[in-house]
């Protein structure tokens, strides 16, 4: 069995989280998902064929694109028509990801800076390769002697996705009509019982962007990253049950863990970004320093 170095394991993680860009991905077989002539996602082939059953909502594939019918000419009409299709598909039970229906509305738009053209149920976004945005918070402490430690959560064993894996201090998806800052404060409170007065001190410092595919679809994602230095005497507590336990770990231990399967992959990327920004990785000794940064910021 091949033995990989830490650097190689991290490169494998970044490559896996960007596998949609690799030769041989489903990308060549995907249709662009277009609304009013602008691309808002990528539809994998198994979904394209299902959508032909709903000609009043989706056009037939044409020039490599599937469009919403032009009669759906408003935010509300588009959202409701697509939601009705998704409810119908959910009933048919053919798409595994719809079993994870959350009743969370995500914005759909060409770019983050564009006005949203519709909303879509969170669990369905991967069927359309619609980009999802979220917030991740690195919680850390600095001891009196200057040693940095990081708070990690372990996800509940009953979480729908990635049960039992290591996670950042707190994280959450960005729903329609909610600000990044608001989401940050809310997730800190709900997941880790961090009072707003502390959470509001978090600093916006980075993003982590990537696109992966799996059997459930295409996942272009962008996480807005915050750093939150916590007081030495503060301990996050399990809140809404999404996390089973919090650990305060020395930064070397975090570095070691992020290259293992014990870490939720995108959370490992967020921790890697922290390590780079806080000067814990040395470009003179880390051969893939530059590739790490490129892998953390891939966008279509």
Would you say 56 or 177 has its CB closer to its own copies? Answer: 177
Residue 221 beta carbon to its own copies: minimum distance, rounded to whole angstroms: 11
- 298 binds its own copies per the rule CB under 8 A: yes
Pick between residue 201 and residue 235 the one whose CB is nearest to its own copies.
201
Asked if 230 is part of the footprint of its own copies (rule: CB under 8 A), the reply reads no
Q: In the set 53, 163, 164, 287, which binds its own copies (CB under 8 A)? A: 287
What's the 3-state SS for the chain?
A: CCCCCHHHHHHHHHHHHCHHHCCCCHHHHCEEEEECCEEEEEECHHHHHHHCCCCCCECCCECCEEEECCCCCCHHHHHHHHHHHHHHHHHHCCCHHHHHCCCCEEEECCCCCCCCCEEEEHHHHHHHCCCEEEEEEEEEEECCCCCEEEEEEEECCCCCCCCCCEECCEEEECCCCCCHHHHHHHHHHHHHCCCHHHHCCCEEEEEEEEEEEECCEEEEEEEEEEEEECCCCCCCCCCCCCEEEEEEEEHHHHHHHCCCCCECHHHHHHHHHHHHHCCCCCCCCCCCHHHHHHHCECCC
Q: Does 291 bind its own copies (CB under 8 A)?
A: yes
Judged by beta carbon, residue 30 or residue 281, the one nearer its own copies is: 281
Which residue number, 11 or 51, has a Cβ lying nearer to its own copies? 11
The CB-of-203 to its own copies minimum distance in angstroms stands at 4
Stretch that binds its own copies, among 53-61, 65-73, 144-152, 271-279 (CB under 8 A): 271-279
- What mask of x and - would describe binding to its own copies in positions 158 to 177, judged by CB under 8 A? --------------------
Q: How far is the CB of 68 from its own copies (least distance, A)?
A: 24
Residues forming contacts to its own copies in the complex (CB under 8 A) are 111-113, 179-181, 203-207, 209, 222, 224, 276-279, 281-284, 287-291, 293-294, 296-299
């Amino acid at each position: 069995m091949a033995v990989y170095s830490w650097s190689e394991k991290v490169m494998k993680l970044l490559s896996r989280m960007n596998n949609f860009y690799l030769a041989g991905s489903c990308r060549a077989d995907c249709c662009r998902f277009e609304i009013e002539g602008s691309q808002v996602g990528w539809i994998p082939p198994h979904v394209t064929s299902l959508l032909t059953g709903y000609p009043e909502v989706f056009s037939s594939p044409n020039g490599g694109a599937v469009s919403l019918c032009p009669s759906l000419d408003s935010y509300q009409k588009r959202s409701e028509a697509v939601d009705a299709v998704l409810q119908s598909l959910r009933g048919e039970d053919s798409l595994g990801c719809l079993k994870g229906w959350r009743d969370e509305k995500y914005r759909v738009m060409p770019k983050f800076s564009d006005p949203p053209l519709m909303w879509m149920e969170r669990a369905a976004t991967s069927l359309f390769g619609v980009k999802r945005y979220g917030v991740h918070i690195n919680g850390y402490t600095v001891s009196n002697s200057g040693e940095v430690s990081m708070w990690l959560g372990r996800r509940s064993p009953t979480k729908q996705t990635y049960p039992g894996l290591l996670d950042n201090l707190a994280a959450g998806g960005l729903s329609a009509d909610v600000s990044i800052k608001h989401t940050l404060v809310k997730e800190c409170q709900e997941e880790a019982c961090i009072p707003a007065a502390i959470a509001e001190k978090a600093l916006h410092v980075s993003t982590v962007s990537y696109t992966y595919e799996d059997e459930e679809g295409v996942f272009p994602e962008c996480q807005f990253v915050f750093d939150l230095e916590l007081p030495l005497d503060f301990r996050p507590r399990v809140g809404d049950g999404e996390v089973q336990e919090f650990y305060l770990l020395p930064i070397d231990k975090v570095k070691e863990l992020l290259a293992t399967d014990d870490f939720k992959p995108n959370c490992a990327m967020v921790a890697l970004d922290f390590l780079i920004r806080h000067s814990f990785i040395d470009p003179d000794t880390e051969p893939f320093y530059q590739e790490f940064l490129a892998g953390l910021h891939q966008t279509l």
